[in-house]
């Protein structure tokens, strides 16, 4: 097939991510993907800590394709953060305000580099949640496209929730309401909405206004999804963006086996050891458990999860992130002799796991996930049914997609964002989801009855569609070419 990407001139695309793993990982994947199309030069702005996480991978990419990574120092210490605290997953309680102050300064530094660039950028692709760089693009008269780390459904649900006026009504936090004006019947509560949607604090109201202004000024929007997955909602998104909305994913599928192992950070488990352990289990028998890079649970809630996994009597890989309560968790694991009790059947990964590598293995039959969009689209990409446990942000929307619309998952019954009732959650014995509910969801996803088999069939079919979308001639492949053709048109 003839490549329809622009060839009359070299396009210079500049990528500026939000400094959180769920944002910079897919944006780096996207920059790499576009740099593989002829006549494209990609420049990605990162920090020294992100560069260190990727190690030699970014050097190898720069040598093989036309992509450049510019490390802009992040002013951590100047803003009261620990040294090298440059990404959201390293933040402790009370550090978010400092982080966003530093992030504003970092964007200003990025702007100073951009305005001196030669060749000058054709287009800037910037994360929705860093609106200051949008102001810079407007000042420099550079066409700017939003990268949204959410899926199409979530973007539309947030938009409809905001414009419908439902948030200004007398609806109580826990009272269900139907999101109006969308193709599916989605019932949600205020306490399941992203905090930036429902919060009326002065700081959040100011931030929301900046996001809306940046959204209005954008040329278009790029989504890490594929048309066949969210067809009704990409159509709705195109209406909002004058037909300049492009699904170009799943971006995780742009990685080979080696890149899967080092994607995002250095894994806390040896790749070969992990694959050998997975090879030793039957197809579809292993549960992979990961609640994301920003999840923070009470100790007692973690114990409920651990005890449910033990009681399942199924093989599992459980990723435990570095948290503020690490010492208490490790003490419980030791006192309870947890790793001895699950020896041979379970593996604990403390820190970063090669998630895409694990999900792509045929022995994995279920994914217990927080429903962050990256994890959701990665599970879908490899045809893995999901046990859903949304925690915050738009994750409850993603659960609706997985469980209700696609029919490839079962929820554990989470009812509210972990950022709700913060004072209550400070107590060590606060539990949102009991082990019985977790175990029940695991059994429904992993069992061999008719419902379980139908769920697996649907998941496999979506995995095949995801693969086809990214191949030459697929919908996402075409959308990338359409995007590249569009951004060279006169404004």
State yes or no: pLDDT of 311 exceeds 80: yes
* Residues 320 and 182 occupy one common structural domain: no
* Residues 440 and 353 occupy one common structural domain: yes
Summarised one tens digit per residue, pLDDT across range 53-76 is: 888 888 888 877 889 999 999 999
* Residues 240 and 275 occupy one common structural domain: no
* Residues 417 and 481 occupy one common structural domain: no
* Residues 446 and 461 occupy one common structural domain: yes
Residue 427 has a pLDDT of: 44
Residue 191 has a pLDDT of: 87
State yes or no: pLDDT of 283 exceeds 80: yes
Summarised one tens digit per residue, pLDDT across range 16-58 is: 999 999 999 999 999 999 998 878 999 999 999 999 988 888 8
- CATH, residue 146: 3.40.50.2000
Domain-located, residue 242: yes
Residue 440 has a pLDDT of: 96
Domain-located, residue 186: yes
* Residues 367 and 310 occupy one common structural domain: yes
Domain-located, residue 260: no
* Residues 425 and 480 occupy one common structural domain: no
* Residues 458 and 473 occupy one common structural domain: no
State yes or no: pLDDT of 425 exceeds 50: no
Segment 153-177 shows an average pLDDT of 87
Residue 279 has a pLDDT of: 96
Residue 76 sits in which domain range?
11-254+469-486
* Residues 247 and 271 occupy one common structural domain: no
Q: Which residues sit opposite 347 in a β-bridge?
A: 317
Contact 392, 414 (CB under 8 A): no
Q: Which of 301, 303, 297 is nearest to 331 (CA)?
A: 303
Domain count, the chain: 2
Domain-located, residue 1: no
* Residues 227 and 328 occupy one common structural domain: no
* Residues 37 and 177 occupy one common structural domain: yes
Q: Give the integer Cα–Cα distance in Å for 400 and 388.
A: 10
* Residues 481 and 457 occupy one common structural domain: no
| Tokens, residue 173 | 């936090």
* pTM: predicted TM-score of the whole model, two decimal places: 0.92
Segment 185-196 shows an average pLDDT of 90
Domain-located, residue 117: yes
Confidence of residue 291 (pLDDT cuts 50, 70, 90): very high
Residue 264 has a pLDDT of: 58
Summarised one tens digit per residue, pLDDT across range 338-384 is: 999 999 899 999 888 899 999 999 999 999 999 999 999 999 999 99
């Amino acid at each position: 097939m003839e490549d329809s990407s622009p060839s009359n001139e070299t396009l210079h695309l500049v990528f500026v991510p939000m400094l959180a793993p769920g944002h910079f990982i897919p944006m780096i994947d996207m920059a790499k993907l576009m740099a593989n199309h002829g006549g494209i030069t990609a420049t990605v702005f990162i920090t020294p800590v992100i560069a260190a996480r990727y190690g030699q991978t970014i050097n190898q990419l720069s040598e093989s394709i036309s992509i450049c990574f510019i490390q802009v120092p992040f002013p951590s210490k100047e803003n009261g953060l620990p040294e090298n605290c440059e990404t959201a997953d390293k933040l402790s309680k009370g550090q978010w305000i400092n982080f966003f102050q530093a992030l504003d300064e970092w964007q200003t530094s990025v702007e100073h580099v951009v305005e001196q660039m030669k060749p000058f950028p054709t287009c800037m692709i910037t994360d929705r949640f860093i609106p200051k760089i949008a102001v810079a693009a407007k000042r420099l008269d550079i066409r700017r496209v939003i990268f949204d780390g959410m899926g199409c459904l979530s973007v539309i649900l947030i938009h409809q929730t905001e414009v419908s006026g439902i948030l200004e009504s007398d609806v109580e936090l826990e009272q269900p309401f139907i999101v109006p004006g969308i193709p599916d019947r989605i019932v949600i509560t205020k306490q399941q909405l992203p905090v930036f949607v429902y919060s009326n604090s002065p700081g959040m109201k100011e931030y929301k206004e900046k996001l809306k202004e940046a959204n209005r000024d954008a040329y278009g929007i790029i989504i890490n999804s594929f048309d066949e997955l969210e067809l009704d909602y990409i159509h709705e998104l195109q209406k909002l963006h004058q037909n300049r909305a492009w699904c170009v994913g799943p971006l995780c599928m742009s990685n080979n086996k080696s890149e899967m192992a080092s994607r995002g950070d250095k894994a806390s488990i040896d790749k070969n050891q992990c694959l050998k352990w997975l090879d030793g289990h039957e197809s579809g028998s292993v549960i992979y458990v990961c609640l994301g890079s920003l999840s923070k649970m009470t100790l007692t809630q973690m114990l409920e999860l651990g005890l449910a996994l033990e009681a399942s009597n199924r093989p599992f890989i459980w990723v435990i992130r570095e948290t503020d309560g690490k010492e208490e968790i490790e003490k419980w694991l030791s006192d309870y002799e947890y790793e001895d009790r699950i020896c041979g059947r379970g593996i604990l990964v403390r820190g970063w796991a090669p998630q895409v590598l694990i999900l792509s293995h045929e022995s994995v039959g279920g994914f217990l996930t927080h429903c962050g969009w990256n994890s959701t689209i990665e599970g879908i990409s490899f045809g893995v049914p999901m046990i859903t446990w949304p925690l915050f942000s738009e994750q409850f929307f993603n659960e609706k997609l997985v469980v209700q619309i696609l029919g490839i998952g079962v929820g554990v019954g989470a009812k509210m964002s972990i950022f709700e009732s913060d004072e209550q959650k400070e107590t060590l014995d606060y539990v949102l989801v009991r082990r019985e509910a977790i175990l029940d969801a695991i059994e429904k996803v992993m069992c061999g009855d008719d419902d379980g088999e139908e769920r697996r069939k649907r998941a496999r079919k979506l995995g095949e569609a995801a693969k086809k979308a990214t191949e030459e001639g697929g919908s996402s492949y075409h959308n990338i070419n359409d995007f590249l053709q569009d951004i060279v048109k006169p404004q």
